[in-house]
């Protein structure tokens, strides 16, 4: 009797079969929802592949986030031009902050027009950037205390990537990618679950070897 059997654990082959079955069901559901045609944005060619999960911005969250930044920029401009007895340097500082806030709002507006797609090749955004190849994803965390954006999840990679920041959509810093902000919670949860199943399947395969 093996150590796993004495501990009451199912064989690795069984775990792998269950993981593959769950992944197949998710892939089938995703193919019905999103279609089987995917785009290889890195090469600019069309490939027949399954989109395992897709996330996009929630309309309500997007309007709220951009609206708050726009109102803050307007309030700062009004404060800068108001006839208050303040120094010119203070007015310039207020105007500089207003410009920065307005730029953040514009950046969020542009960033949240994009979507994220998880395919069998990796995680892409619709602008053509490969965030992470699937084989480089080492972990996914949706915990309450995880350092992640709102309504999203954190990915840990095996190799560092370039620094990117798309407010409301994702950020990438070294071996960490935070997905979330103004995205739909149900879609980010589904994507995180698909990644977690893939990681479990990979671990089972490595354990069998």
Digit-coded pLDDT (tens) for 130-187: 899 988 999 998 877 778 888 889 999 988 888 889 999 999 998 999 999 999 988 9
pLDDT given for residue 49 in this prediction: 64
pLDDT given for residue 26 in this prediction: 47
pLDDT given for residue 4 in this prediction: 43
Domain boundary among the residues 82, 111, 140 is at 111
pLDDT given for residue 89 in this prediction: 87
Same domain, 40 and 52: yes
Same domain, 41 and 122: yes
pLDDT given for residue 14 in this prediction: 45
Write the CB contacts of 11 (distance below 8 Å, at least 6 apart in sequence): 4, 5
DSSP alpha helices (H): ranges in the chain?
A: 3-6, 12-34, 59-81, 88-111, 185-208
**What pTM did the predictor assign?**
0.67
pLDDT given for residue 48 in this prediction: 38
What do you get for the CA distance between the two ends of the chain, in Å? 19
Domain boundary among the residues 91, 111, 131 is at 111
Same domain, 75 and 160: no
Same domain, 48 and 94: no
Same domain, 157 and 181: yes
Same domain, 71 and 99: yes
Same domain, 46 and 64: no
Same domain, 29 and 86: no
Of 134, 173, 111, 113, residue with least CA distance to 42: 134
Query: In this structure, what is the dihedral angle of CA atoms 142, 144, 147, 152, given to the nearest 10 degrees?
Result: 40
Same domain, 142 and 159: yes
Same domain, 190 and 123: yes
Domain that holds residue 88: 59-111
Q: pLDDT under 50 in the chain at which residues?
A: 1-19, 21-22, 25-48
Question: Into how many domains does the chain fold?
Answer: 2
Same domain, 41 and 126: yes
b/e code 94-126 from CB counts within 10 Å (16+ = b): beebbeebbebbebbbebbebbbbbbebbbbbe
């Amino acid at each position: 009797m093996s150590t796993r059997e004495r501990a009451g654990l199912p064989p690795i082959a069984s775990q792998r079969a269950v993981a593959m079955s769950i992944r197949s069901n998710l892939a089938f559901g995703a193919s019905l929802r999103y279609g089987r045609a995917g785009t290889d944005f890195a090469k600019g060619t069309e490939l027949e592949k399954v989109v395992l999960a897709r996330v996009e911005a929630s309309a309500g969250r997007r309007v709220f986030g951009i609206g708050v930044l726009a109102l803050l920029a307007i309030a700062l401009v009004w404060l800068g031009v108001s006839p208050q007895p303040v120094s010119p340097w203070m007015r310039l500082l207020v105007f500089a902050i207003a410009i920065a806030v307005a730029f953040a709002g514009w950046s969020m507006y542009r960033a949240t027009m994009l979507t994220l797609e998880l395919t069998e090749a990796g995680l892409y955004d619709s602008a053509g950037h490969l965030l992470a190849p699937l084989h480089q994803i080492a972990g996914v965390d949706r915990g309450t205390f995880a350092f992640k954006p709102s309504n999203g999840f954190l990915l840990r990679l095996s190799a560092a990537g370039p620094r990117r920041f798309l407010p409301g959509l994702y950020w990438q810093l070294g071996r960490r990618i935070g997905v979330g902000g103004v995205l739909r919670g149900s879609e980010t949860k589904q994507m995180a679950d698909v990644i977690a199943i893939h990681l479990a399947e990979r671990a089972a395969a490595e354990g069998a070897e």
